[in-house]
């Protein structure tokens, strides 16, 4: 851990033996730490690209791009790149049987709804939706070309599918069609929020 090591060590000493789900806290710390590192790389590369190409931009747009980059890096760090910081550290598992992929929609979600803990059910359902709401907001807000509802939803679905595919290849999570469905729904909700926000902004100007 590069940036959050001291803070994590402090929290670990205080709560590691008191919190049952502390590994989730550990994962979150590592994910945020990676996202900070990757975002700094992005900012440097973006700055160099603007200077080399002599592009005109503004602080608001660059801040939005940096926040979006952090969000995407955090999303992938939490779901895919859990055990590694850099590409050369990845381990690939191409031999995994395709039968390990949950391809029948909503089966696993219904199983979770009847399980002992509803926390897993609610996180699987609402968590997957909420995580992709920013995707539906950022994409149309930051792209110069106008993107419609179905285009944004398609991009969200493709990104979710890439996450599930990488989880399968890197063996860092369960590959489930339900995740793609709920992520896509989250992107749709995000776009609707963006559209409503844009509409309200126009009303205020009037």
Of the candidates 62, 90, 118, which is a domain's last residue? 90
The total domain count for the chain is 2
Nearest-5° angle of CA 198, CA 200, CA 204? 115
Same domain flag for 106 and 193: yes
- Among the candidates 90, 106, 134, a domain finishes at 90
Say if residue 119 is in the same domain as residue 204: yes
25 and 102 co-located in one domain? no
Over residues 130-178, the pLDDT tens digits come to: 999 999 999 999 998 889 999 999 999 999 999 999 999 999 989 999 9
Residues 118, 23 within the same domain? no
86 and 107 housed in the same domain = no
Clarify whether residues 136 and 201 are in a common domain. Answer: yes
Are 118 and 160 contained in the same domain? Answer: yes
Give the span between the Cα atoms of 105 and 181, in whole angstroms: 8
- pLDDT attached to residue 188: 98
**Cβ pair 42, 69 in contact under 8 A:** yes
Last residue of a domain, one of 68, 90, 112: 90
- Closest CA relative to residue 183, chosen from 128, 118, 103: 128
Domain carrying residue 51: 1-90
**Cβ atoms 177, 108 nearer than 8 A:** no
Q: DSSP state, 176?
A: B
Say yes or no: 57 and 127 in one domain: no
Give 37-86 pLDDT, tens digit per residue. Answer: 999 999 999 999 999 999 888 999 999 999 999 999 999 999 999 878 88
Cα→Cα distances 148→50, 58, 155, 164, Å: 27, 24, 11, 25
Contact present, 62 and 46 (Cβ < 8 Å): yes
Residues 126 and 199 in one domain: yes
- For residues 137 and 191, the answer to whether their CB atoms sit within 8 Å is yes
Q: Which helix (H) or strand (E) segment is 43 a member of?
A: helix 22-53
| 39 or 205, which is more confident | 39
pTM, 2 dp: 0.91
Query: Count of CB atoms within 10 A of residue 119's CB?
Result: 12
Is 197 found in the same domain as 116? yes
Identify whether residues 4 and 56 lie together within a single domain.
yes
Question: Does the pLDDT at position 11 exceed 80?
Answer: yes
pLDDT digits (tens, 9 = 90+) for 87-130: 788 888 988 999 999 999 989 898 888 877 777 788 888 999 99
Residues 21, 69 share a domain:
yes
CB 157 within 8 A of CB 125: no
pLDDT over 70 at 206, yes or no: no
């Amino acid at each position: 851990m590069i940036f959050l090591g001291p803070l994590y060590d402090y929290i670990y000493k205080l709560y590691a033996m008191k919190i049952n789900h502390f590994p989730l806290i550990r994962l979150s710390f590592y994910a945020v730490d990676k996202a900070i590192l990757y975002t700094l790389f992005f900012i440097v590369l973006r700055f160099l690209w603007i200077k080399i190409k002599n592009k005109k931009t503004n602080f608001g747009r660059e801040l939005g791009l940096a926040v979006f980059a952090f969000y995407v890096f955090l999303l992938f760090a939490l779901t895919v790149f859990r055990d590694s910081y850099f590409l050369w550290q990845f381990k690939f598992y191409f031999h995994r049987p395709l039968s390990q992929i949950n391809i029948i929609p909503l089966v696993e979600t219904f199983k979770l709804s009847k399980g002992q803990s509803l926390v897993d059910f609610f996180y699987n359902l609402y968590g997957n939706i909420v995580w992709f709401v920013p995707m539906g907001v950022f994409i149309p807000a930051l792209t110069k070309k106008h993107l419609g509802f179905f285009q944004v939803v398609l991009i969200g679905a493709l990104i979710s599918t890439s996450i599930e595919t990488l989880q399968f290849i890197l063996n860092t999570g369960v590959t489930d069609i339900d995740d793609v469905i709920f992520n896509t729904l989250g992107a749709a909700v995000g776009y609707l929020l963006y559209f409503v926000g844009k509409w309200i902004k126009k009303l205020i100007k009037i």
